[in-house]
Chains A and B, each alone.
Chain A
Amino acid sequence: SQTIHQWPATLVQPVGSPLSLECTVEGTSNPNLYWYRQAAGRGLQLLFYSVGIGQISSEVPQNLSASRPQDRQFILSSKKLLLSDSGFYLCAWSVREYQPQHFGDGTRLSIL
């Protein structure tokens, strides 16, 4: 069966520090991969999606970036965090577009 792992579960970082969140999927090949963020009082917002290794599409301009160095690995990064980057970050995968997405457990990121 397929599983998705996301870590860390919580993270407290100072403003201006770098960020790396990792997500891996097991039990499937060539999944579509997604990064979402839920800021306080808002709905889930798609940040990035990827349909294959090295293919990244950005939905929202910001100081975050994503990379997909391997088929089932998706990394969310920042060189310098802002206060506005605080939120709950979720990674998800799907077999293809229009199919249900399967979410990881999320990372609660607090910026001080």
Chain B
Amino acid sequence: ILNVEQSPQSLHVQEGDSTNFTCSFPSSNFYALHWYRWETAKSPEALFVMTLNGDEKKKGRISATLNTKEGYSYLYIKGSQPEDSATYLCAFNGGGGSNYKLTFGKGTLLTVNP
């Protein structure tokens, strides 16, 4: 059974704060690591798909890093805004026979207070 852990489970920050959270995943048989944002009453939205160790991706104020050797990824949000409030999900994509399967973490619920 694959273990994908996200921490913290929830986070409250003030508008303008920068924040980050963690996703840990198996370091063996790695192919890709996905990040999704899931806002209340909407469907999950893809943020990043990362495949290379040391990779860093950026989308506006949100960025992510990847360490496949130690099995973790960080998601950073710079200058948080209330509209960033959402659950942030990471998902592990293994190779071989698990090509199609995403194993999701339980997510980090971010609340940004104005």
User: Given A98-B51, A101-B46, A105-B43, A32 and B100 touching (CB < 8 A)?
Assistant: yes
CB neighbours (8 Å) of B25 from chain A are none
A92: min CB distance to chain B, Å:
8
A interface residues, Cβ below 8 angstroms from B = 32, 34, 42-46, 49, 51, 57, 59, 90, 97-106
Q: How far is the CA of A101 from the CA of B104 in the complex (A)?
A: 12
Q: How large is the interface on B (under 10, 10 to 19, 20 to 34, 35 or more residues)?
A: 20 to 34
CB neighbours (8 Å) of B46 from chain A are 100-102
Contact partner, A59, options B44, B91, B101, Cβ 8 Å: B101
Q: Is B89 an interface residue (CB 8 A)?
A: yes
B interface residues, Cβ below 8 angstroms from A = 4, 31-32, 34, 42-46, 49, 51, 89, 91, 93, 99-107
CB neighbours (8 Å) of A98 from chain B are 31-32, 49, 51, 93, 99
Of the A-B pairs whose beta carbons lie under 8 Å apart in the complex, a sample of 23, sorted by A's number, is A34-B100, A42-B106, A43-B89, A43-B104, A43-B105, A43-B106, A44-B91, A46-B101, A46-B102, A57-B100, A90-B43, A90-B44, A98-B31, A98-B32, A98-B93, A99-B49, A100-B34, A101-B46, A101-B102, A103-B43, A103-B44, A103-B45, A105-B42
